[in-house]
Chain A
Amino acid sequence: MSTTRVAPARATFPALGTTAVLLVTDGRALPDAERALRAELAAIDAACSRFRPDSEIMRLARYAGRPAPVSPLLAGALAEALRVARATDGLVDPTVGQAVVDLGYDRDFALLDRDRPDTFPDAGAERVDAIPRPAPGWWRIRLDEAAGTVVVPRGVLVDLGATAKAYAADRAAARIAGLGGGGLGVLVSLGGDLATAGPGPAGGWLVGIGDNHRRTASGDPVVTVRSGGLATSSVTQRSWRRAGRTVHHIVDPRTGDLPEPVWRTVSVAAACCVDANAAATAAVVRGHDAPAWLAGLGLAARLVGHDGNPVTVAGWPAGGSGASQGTPPTARACAASRDSREAR
């Protein structure tokens, strides 16, 4: 007997410099769900945005090496950023902020694109102060969640760009799934990094996989996602020109420069969106040994090389057919989901 699939109810709006997509399995819950998502994203933006001088994270610079008070929301986001920094052996590092700025990404990307479409003649490669600088290192941030304080050394620019959106997606999905006593299936996508919570639609959420989250290209594979998070990192988006070369937003913290061009786009499924996003970004930075690293962690992934050839690992469905190969071991509760439940 086959079950007719009912398309989920949908809301789409711009947020956090990208597109937010909200899907719920019960259309009656959509207005409340959208209100909850907008509130969550506004709170994350006020706490974590690198492009708002009044954001909480930008105000940390005033403390210059002294303990700074942080809200529970920012403390949670910082804790997640430090956790994934450790888990990726420093390949996803929140102290990469200055390196990203040095590459020219110093304002909201929409403004950057319009204001500086071409080269940066002031960034001469022969100047010592213009060469890429490695990230100072995540271990230099001292977070005391219990006390609600953080110490960021002078000169360290914290950038939660690699984790804050995913953290917001996880928190929002968990919060919305709890509306009305549970039973609601939710998917929150922020720029193509998505988190799910609650019971999904029959057969799971259908997710197209490609270079660009804004549109589906012909031939893009479609996968079903029943739980957890899925994220894609790609060097084909958010790229610009600097000093005569094309650069993008994924930086190798070890060098402060672009990673070796091995992978164009990496998609990873994990227990939550934060883990999926961190693994996808780390895989781009890691380069040739990324498939073995992902397989060792049991993280189902699809990596597309610059030649366009895809590689799949750890049960990601190869090509466009066939069932998934194997089920990874026990998932833990996602930290962001836990934080969101505790905050309610």
Chain B
Amino acid sequence: MDPTQARRLRIDRRAAGMRRQRRATQATAAGAVAAAVAFGWAFAQATAAAAETPPPAPSTTDAGAGAASTGGLQAPAQAPGSGAGQPDVQSGGS
């Protein structure tokens, strides 16, 4: 096998691993959603059967608040503004 072929093989192997990882992540997320829906439905049935007057339904905000963080990169509360004068500190390559 020549170096180019060997390199291509290694790159393809990593790309395949990434694809498998993405599929596993998507499957886990889909499973979690399905489980949440199923538990929510089951809970709603039990509650309806136990009480003549059902409790107030949770608001969509409350339901959304329980969602797991995506763990993505987050923006700052405020973007940088324009400055002038002698900087306090320098940001650059290190």
Tell me if B80 counts as interface (CB < 8 A to partner A): yes
Closest to B70 in A: A87
Inter-subunit contact A131/B3 (CB<8 Å): yes
Inter-subunit contact B76/A229 (CB<8 Å): yes
Instruction: Convert A211-238 into 0s and 1s, putting 1 for each residue whose CB lies closer than 8 angstroms to a CB of B.
Output: 1111110001111111111111111111
Contact-residue bracket for chain A = 35 or more
Say whether chain A's binding surface is mostly helix, strand, loop, or mixed.
loop
Report B19-76 residues with CB < 8 Å from chain A CB: 21, 25, 69, 71-76
> Hey, which chain B residues are within 8 Å of A265, CB to CB?
92-93
Q: How far is the CA of A317 from the CA of B71 in the complex (A)?
A: 27
B47 CB to closest chain A CB (Å) equals 32
Inter-subunit contact A271/B76 (CB<8 Å): yes
Q: How far is the CA of A86 from the CA of B15 in the complex (A)?
A: 14
Inter-subunit contact B77/A331 (CB<8 Å): yes
> Hey, which chain A residues are within 8 Å of B73, CB to CB?
84, 87-88, 270, 275, 278-279, 297, 299
Instruction: Convert A270-307 into 0s and 1s, putting 1 for each residue whose CB lies closer than 8 angstroms to a CB of B.
Output: 11100100110000000000000000011110000000
> Hey, which chain B residues are within 8 Å of A275, CB to CB?
73-74
Closest to B2 in A: A128
Inter-subunit contact B78/A227 (CB<8 Å): yes
Tell me if A259 counts as interface (CB < 8 A to partner B): no
Query: Known: A207-B87, A223-B82. Contact between A299 and B93, CB under 8 A?
Result: no
Closest to A315 in B: B79
Query: Known: A134-B14, A213-B91, A332-B69. Contact between A300 and B75, CB under 8 A?
Result: yes
Instruction: Convert A55-91 into 0s and 1s, putting 1 for each residue whose CB lies closer than 8 angstroms to a CB of B.
Output: 0000000000000000000000000000110111110
Tell me if A3 counts as interface (CB < 8 A to partner B): no
Q: Considering residues A87, A223, A236, A270, which has the most beta carbons from chain B within 10 angstroms of its beta carbon?
A: A223
Can you name 19 A-B pairs with beta carbons within 8 Å? A90-B18, A137-B14, A193-B91, A204-B83, A209-B91, A212-B93, A216-B90, A222-B83, A222-B84, A228-B78, A230-B91, A255-B7, A271-B77, A278-B73, A300-B76, A300-B79, A316-B79, A321-B82, A331-B74
**Interfacial residues, chain A to chain B (CB-CB below 8 A):** 7-8, 10, 18-19, 21, 23, 83-84, 86-90, 125-128, 131-137, 139-140, 187, 189-194, 201, 203-216, 220-238, 253-256, 265, 267, 269-272, 275, 278-279, 297-300, 314-317, 320-332, 334
